[in-house]
Amino acid sequence: MTVQFPLNAPDLRALDKAHHLHPWANFGPFEAKGALVMARGEGCWLWDTEGRRYFDAIGGMWCTNIGLGRREMAEAIADQVQHLAFANSFVDMTNGPAALLAAKLASLAPGDLNRVHFTTGGSDAVDTAYRMVQYYQSVMGRPSKTQMIAREYSYHGSTYISQSIGKRPGDRVPFFRYKEDGIHHLTAPNAYRAPDGMGEAAFCDWLVAEFEAKLAEIGPENVGGFFAEPVQASGGVIVPPAGYLPRMAAICRQHDILFVADEVVTAFGRLGHWFASWEEFGVQPDIITCAKGLTSGYLPLGALIFTDRIWEAMAADGARWFTSGFTYSGHPVACAAALKNIEIIEREDLLGNATRIGTLFEARMKALEALPMVGQVRGRKLMVCVENVADKATKALLPEELDVGTRIADTCEAMGLLVRPMGHLNVMSPPLILTATDVDLIGDTLEAAIRQVADALVREGVR
Ligand code: PMP
């Protein structure tokens, strides 16, 4: 298939550079070189406007689960646009795709998570969960339960509240303000960086004790919700120690604290399940937030899936108004895309593939730990991260200004592979349609790039 370019490439890059403030823009490098302009995508591959081809091991942004360029998706979207491009879902109106999708999500979600509220993405789903927790606690006669507990190195979105619930150290620049009062952060369950070289089981006990101590300090009567990504994604693919999530959930239950599983990344197959909190980790959340893989990135959509208990409590409240929602909540075209996406995941057994190929992918990536600059490869199935270090024994990091993750990612990019740099880390979350050949391609290319950068750092006298 020939690639059609609507405009010539230098124009696009220049226009973009002159006018487009990118999400998470890094002004210095952007002003120096501008952006890579993508023109086309098919399966796991992207083509830029100059016709260069890249294997997208980032999976868009943890989201292109079924792969790009599917005609079936285009047809489902086009059909819905012709039929009913929009109708609002406020108060007492709905549309077919929204109703069908809500029912479908209820059938896929664990336990009595039978109720669905749509948003436009992950950040506003987390924001709404924060509000729903406070609403629920108030109508349950516990109005003091307004405070929330989350973890360091978590990422929950980019709005005021969702970014305040998250806390990746590098994000907290002095020019933005965050809600500091009433949101508390516990230590990230990253066993690689456990204090005092603790083993995994001891670290798990330590984390649970930290949670209990924090509750004792704040008073459990003041805590409404606990927010947790089952695997912390953008904070560095942190897989918690065995037993950690169920133990944290048990403490939540004991104190009437709602467990909010932020499954924006982990739902819809990334870990081989519809939802990871129950199927992978044995935790029954009160609220699940999701987005990304819900439509595999074909259109923006997010959702909260929550229990009958929460619904009934809110509905029994005298006010009876859930005064939250967006113009595009339950957007019929986005919901039609999600329904088709889920149908494709089911028909092609992409959850099964994610488990089979994810296990292979994990093992191939783990082999990179043999390289002198790789301190740890961690993750699960189709979410994996490589942690680059200066010294494997001490786990000391390379100087931040070397930006080793970006150097490796740039080297990969020149070889036709996209991996995501995050400080000293490189992160991957390829589509669920990955094959064994793709696994080799990612493994071999990334290995060559890490070796190349490590050699360059030796030549530069840094390592
Ligand atoms: N929660 C998690 C766990 C995420 O990873 C993200 C996005 N990476 C979000 C929430 C925010 O989602 P969105 O960018 O769709 O607003």
Q: Which atom of ligand 1 is nearest to the CA of 159?
A: 16
Do residue 13 and residue 56 come from a single domain? yes
Q: Is the CB of 121 under 6 A from ligand 1?
A: yes
Give residue 287 CA to ligand 1 midpoint distance, Å: 15
Q: Are 418 and 56 in contact (CB under 8 A)?
A: yes
Q: Which atom of ligand 1 is nearest to the CA of 62?
A: 8
Question: Of 303 and 172, which is predicted with more confidence?
Answer: 303
Domain boundary, last residue among 297, 325, 347? 347
**Confidence category of residue 197, pLDDT binned at 50, 70, 90:** confident
Instruction: Indicate the average pLDDT of the chain.
Output: 96
Q: Is the CB of 233 under 6 A from ligand 1?
A: yes
| Strand order from edge to edge, sheet including 287-290 | 115-119, 302-306, 287-290, 258-262, 223-228, 147-151, 183-186
Average pLDDT over residues 257-263: 98
Do residue 359 and residue 342 come from a single domain? no
Domain boundary, last residue among 347, 365, 380? 347
Q: Are 425 and 432 in contact (CB under 8 A)?
A: no
3-40 CB burial, b ≥16 within 10 A, e <16: eebeeeeeebbeeeeeeeeeeeeeeeeeeeebeebebb
What pLDDT does 393 receive?
A: 94
Q: Which atom of ligand 1 is nearest to the CA of 154?
A: 3
Residue 178 sits in a domain whose CATH number is 3.40.640.10
Do residue 175 and residue 305 come from a single domain? yes
- The rounded distance, in Å, linking the Cα atoms of 66 and 77 is 15
Do residue 297 and residue 436 come from a single domain? no
Q: Is the CB of 156 under 6 A from ligand 1?
A: yes
Both tokens of residue 149?
Answer: 């507990």
Q: Is the CB of 236 under 6 A from ligand 1?
A: no
Q: Which atom of ligand 1 is nearest to the CA of 157?
A: 11
Helices (H) and strands (E) in the chain, counts: 15, 15
Question: Which range marks the domain in which residue 101 is found?
Answer: 72-347
- The rounded distance, in Å, linking the Cα atoms of 412 and 140 is 53
Residue whose CA is at the smallest distance from ligand 1 atom 1: 156
- Whether 355 is covered by a domain: the verdict is yes
- Whether 2 is covered by a domain: the verdict is no
Q: Which of 27-36, 186-195, 383-392, 405-414 has the lowest mean pLDDT?
A: 27-36
- The rounded distance, in Å, linking the Cα atoms of 253 and 256 is 5
pLDDT(462) > 90: no
Both tokens of residue 11?
Answer: 């124009």
Both tokens of residue 268?
Answer: 């819809």
In testing the pocket of ligand 1, which one of 58, 65, 123, 298 has its CB within 8 Å of the most ligand atoms? 123
Q: Which atom of ligand 1 is nearest to the CA of 292?
A: 15
**Confidence category of residue 33, pLDDT binned at 50, 70, 90:** confident
- Whether 369 is covered by a domain: the verdict is yes
Do residue 307 and residue 382 come from a single domain? no
- Nearest Cα neighbor of 109 from 263, 320, 337, 314 is 263
- Whether 1 is covered by a domain: the verdict is no
Instruction: Give the list of residues 6+ apart from residue 231 with CB closer than 8 angstroms, or none.
Output: 237, 238, 239, 240, 265, 266, 271, 276, 379, 380, 383
Do residue 197 and residue 278 come from a single domain? yes
- The rounded distance, in Å, linking the Cα atoms of 11 and 264 is 35
What does DSSP assign to residue 116? E
pLDDT digits (tens, 9 = 90+) for 365-410: 999 999 999 999 999 999 999 999 999 999 999 999 999 999 999 9
- Nearest Cα neighbor of 62 from 325, 284, 379 is 379
**Confidence category of residue 9, pLDDT binned at 50, 70, 90:** low
pLDDT digits (tens, 9 = 90+) for 145-162: 999 999 999 999 999 999
- Nearest Cα neighbor of 442 from 454, 433, 434 is 434
Both tokens of residue 378?
Answer: 């961690």
Q: What is the pTM of this model?
A: 0.97
Q: How far is CA 262 from CA 15, 120, 228, 388, 443, in A?
A: 36, 15, 6, 27, 29
pLDDT digits (tens, 9 = 90+) for 322-375: 999 999 999 999 999 999 999 999 999 999 999 999 999 999 999 999 999 999
Dihedrals phi, psi of 148, to nearest 5 degrees = -125, 150
Neighbour tally for 328: CB within 10 Å: 20
Give residue 4 CA to ligand 1 midpoint distance, Å: 32
Do residue 112 and residue 130 come from a single domain? yes
Q: Is the CB of 229 under 6 A from ligand 1?
A: yes
Do residue 134 and residue 247 come from a single domain? yes
Q: Are 398 and 388 in contact (CB under 8 A)?
A: yes
Q: Is the CB of 277 under 6 A from ligand 1?
A: no
Residue 24 sits in a domain whose CATH number is 3.90.1150.10
- Whether 3 is covered by a domain: the verdict is no
In testing the pocket of ligand 1, which one of 154, 264, 268, 294 has its CB within 8 Å of the most ligand atoms? 264
Instruction: Give the list of residues 6+ apart from residue 418 with CB closer than 8 angstroms, or none.
Output: 46, 54, 55, 56, 57, 58, 409, 412
Do residue 293 and residue 368 come from a single domain? no
Q: Is the CB of 231 under 6 A from ligand 1?
A: no
Give residue 254 CA to ligand 1 midpoint distance, Å: 29
> Looking at the 3D structure of the chain, how many domains does it have?
2
Q: Which of 2-6, 60-64, 323-327, 365-369 has the lowest mean pLDDT?
A: 2-6
**Confidence category of residue 8, pLDDT binned at 50, 70, 90:** low
Q: Are 300 and 334 in contact (CB under 8 A)?
A: yes
- Whether 408 is covered by a domain: the verdict is yes
- Three-class DSSP category at 391: strand
- Whether 36 is covered by a domain: the verdict is yes
Instruction: Give the list of residues 6+ apart from residue 98 with CB closer than 8 angstroms, or none.
Output: 89, 118, 330, 331, 332, 335
ipTM: 0.99
Q: Which atom of ligand 1 is nearest to the CA of 262?
A: 3
In testing the pocket of ligand 1, which one of 127, 289, 292 has its CB within 8 Å of the most ligand atoms? 292
Average pLDDT over residues 231-238: 98
Q: Is the CB of 262 under 6 A from ligand 1?
A: yes
Average pLDDT over residues 115-141: 97
pLDDT digits (tens, 9 = 90+) for 175-184: 888 999 999 9
Do residue 234 and residue 185 come from a single domain? yes
DSSP string, 225-250: EEEE-SSB-TTT-BPPPTTHHHHHHH
Q: Is the CB of 157 under 6 A from ligand 1?
A: yes
Given phi > 0 = left and psi -120 to 50 = alpha, else beta, which region is 378?
beta
- The rounded distance, in Å, linking the Cα atoms of 56 and 442 is 9
pLDDT(459) > 90: yes
What pLDDT does 1 receive?
A: 44
Q: Which atom of ligand 1 is nearest to the CA of 300?
A: 15
- Three-class DSSP category at 27: helix
Do residue 77 and residue 214 come from a single domain? yes
Give residue 123 CA to ligand 1 midpoint distance, Å: 6
Q: Are 98 and 335 in contact (CB under 8 A)?
A: yes
Domain boundary, last residue among 295, 316, 347? 347
- The rounded distance, in Å, linking the Cα atoms of 24 and 377 is 25
Q: What is the dihedral of CA 326, 332, 335, 341, to 10 degrees?
A: -150
Do residue 360 and residue 261 come from a single domain? no
Residue indicated by tokens 């909190």? 277
